[in-house]
Amino acid sequence: MFPIEALLIVGAMALVVGVAVLVVAIQVLRFIYWGYWADDATHGERPHFTGPLLALAFSLLAASEVLPLHPILDRIHELNPVPPWATEYYMVAMLVLMVLSWIHGGRIKNRLWQGLLGRLRRKKAPPAP
């Protein structure tokens, strides 16, 4: 018999990954609706994927340490260089990053995009005489 703490952790990780997958699926459906069926007058802004996709990635990384039930998660667990004594810290760090990516996903994308564009502009600018 498994201890209740282990069952709660497995259930929580499954719920975290399930919610992230569900949100990404909803965003894909919203994007399809936005692209094909939305009225042009009320088209609005397109759905954003940065936060949900980052959250999905971090939740899968956290779940790979707890849920070795799926071949993909087993492979991620094998490739992950986390020592056994740091597994709990790693899971908490990934869950914190997941929450932060839900909150700040758009800002992360904008900052990375602006940094990339700034570098490209500096490279293309002619040297000052």
Domain assignment present for residue 38? The answer is yes
Q: Which domain holds residue 26?
A: 4-124
pLDDT (mean) for 30-36: 85
| pLDDT-derived band at 74, boundaries 50, 70, 90 | confident
Structural domains of the chain, count: 1
pLDDT tens across 88-129, in order?
898 889 889 888 888 887 787 778 778 887 877 777 766 666
Domain assignment present for residue 58? The answer is yes
11 to 42, 69, 75: CA distances (angstroms): 40, 13, 21
pLDDT (mean) for 61-87: 79
State the Cα–Cα distance between residues 115 and 128, nearest whole angstrom: 22
What letter would DSSP give residue 65?
T
pLDDT (mean) for 24-53: 83
| Full-model pTM | 0.74
What residue has token string 């071949």?
71
pLDDT tens across 1-26, in order?
778 888 888 888 889 889 999 999 99
Q: What is the pLDDT at residue 129?
A: 63
Domain assignment present for residue 49? The answer is yes
pLDDT (mean) for 38-66: 82
Q: Which residues contact 101 (CB under 8 A, 6 or more apart)?
A: 50, 51, 54, 55, 58, 108
Domain assignment present for residue 65? The answer is yes
Neighbour-count burial of 49, counting CB atoms closer than 10 A to its CB (0-12 exposed, 13-18 middle, 19+ buried): middle
Q: What is the pLDDT at residue 24?
A: 92
Domain assignment present for residue 56? The answer is yes
Domain assignment present for residue 90? The answer is yes
Q: Please state the three-class secondary structure of 72-97 as a single string.
A: HHHHHHHHCCCCHHHHHHHHHHHHHH
Domain assignment present for residue 129? The answer is no
